[in-house]
Amino acid sequence: MASGVIFIAVTGLLWMLVGVIYSKVNEKAVNFPAFMFFYSLLFFAIIHLWQPPPVVTLEKLAPIAVCMLPSALLGQGGFMMLYLAMKKTSHAVAWTFAQSAMIIPFLGGWLLLGNQVNWINLSGMILLLAALLLLGKGQNKLPENNRTSYQGLILCIISLLLTGVSQFLTLLAGEFCYNEANLLAWRLPLVAWPGIFSWGAVWLIERKNATWKTLYWALLYAAVVSIGQIFLYMALDRMQMLKLSNIVYPAAISICIVLFVVFCRIFRHEVFNLLSASGVILIVLAISMLFA
């Protein structure tokens, strides 16, 4: 039990660091398409070194590829919207919206896949939607230099929707390939490929030079994301032995959100009023209820 809790805590911490790196890249003069291209390339290399995908036929790979390739492209779009949102609003608000995207796979699993839900789950869904409104409303009441713009909120919502649909397609891929380890091992490589080609194309079109600083941030980002994935699977495996795997995602995401908000308050000096702070707290509670 103790090791499982430690793995969950480390996963949440690493996910928070993902947000910190993303925030830093947003602040600094980093070529974003080049950053995402190098990250995708490095992530692809790390995943293949850690767990090379087995050889399978194209016929068997097709069902999972049909889900994972669009999922990857939508996920890249979600990252782009998050990047733009962070230029228009509080980084804590943008990150919290993005992490709340799990409401989409929850709804998809319930309405389209027939997943069982209870009144606590449904209450969590309603609470999450209300908390997001509260968070946005609270930020709009801050002084102008700390206020979330209308454009910023729209970008946050688009980021949430794109990321959420991407997560649902990943869930759908798991449904197609349930208990087929050879196919499930292809999920992460299939996520990396579209990032390499799409961001590479954008970078070539823009024709902007990338510095060593861009490569440094991409390497750091790829390492943290990859290690975060490894700890996530370790936490899932350990808690599965105790029949408690359902707590891994909400606990890790809650830790991630709280730590990132604390980072933004201490190091970025972002201001939160009672409404926006309450919104963050209620989002953490709602996420826990979704998986109760």
Q: What is the mean pLDDT of each run of 10 residues along the chain (292 residues)?
A: 84 94 88 92 86 79 86 92 89 90 86 83 90 76 58 90 90 71 77 87 86 91 89 80 75 90 89 83 88 70
Looking at the structure of the chain, the number of domains it has is 1
Here the tokens at position 58 are 């194209």
Q: What pLDDT does 20 receive?
A: 96
> What is the model's pLDDT at position 1?
66
CA-CA-CA-CA dihedral for 100, 106, 158, 12, to nearest 10: 30
| pLDDT at 80 (0 to 100) | 92
What pLDDT score was predicted for residue 13?
96
Identify the domain containing residue 260 by its residue range: 2-290
Using DSSP, state whether 142 is helix, strand or coil.
Answer: coil
Q: Taking a C-beta distance cutoff of 8 angstroms, is the pair 2, 165 a contact?
A: no
